[in-house]
Amino acid sequence: MDKRVAIKIMLWLIVTITIFHMAILFKVIPYEITWGGRLKSDSEMYVFESISLAINFFLGFVLLIKGEYVKQILPLKIVNTVLWAFLVLFILNTIGNIVAKTDFEKYFAIITLSFSILIWIILDKSKKLRRHNNTYSA
């Protein structure tokens, strides 16, 4: 799979996940079935969902930079480091979703595993492009 295709898929998945988190925030989806069934109050939900939305927006922004859809305001080395951090985060999140209390959240292991694979493709292609072109940009 091409790096740009992987980035586009990731961006659409982030839009979908953002809509999901907004639905939780506006109580269209009950928060009891998310976050491993650990949230106990509306205030906890607002904090967790706000943080989740901020993280998703940040990841989307980093991917927009990586895909050259927006001006590169962060060095590519930082962009790649952030993507490596998200790769680790999504691998751990996949494990967490597999052992979640609710069946609903267990299904999210598929999404987080997909995110892990797509980020790996984005990072792996970057390394190959650098080696192939003998340059330090990807």
The DSSP string of 26-69 is: TTSS-GGGSGGGT--SHHHHHHHHHHHHHHHHHHHHHHHHHTTS
pTM here is 0.82
Residue 138 lies in a domain: no
* Whole-angstrom distance, CA of residue 67 vs CA of residue 48: 28
Structural domain harbouring 27: 3-133
- Predicted confidence (pLDDT) per residue in 15-74, tens digit: 999 999 999 999 999 888 777 778 889 999 999 999 999 999 999 999 999 999 999 999
Q: What's the number of domains the chain is made of?
A: 1
- Predicted confidence (pLDDT) per residue in 74-127, tens digit: 999 999 999 999 999 999 999 988 987 778 778 889 999 999 999 999 998 555
Residue 44 lies in a domain: yes
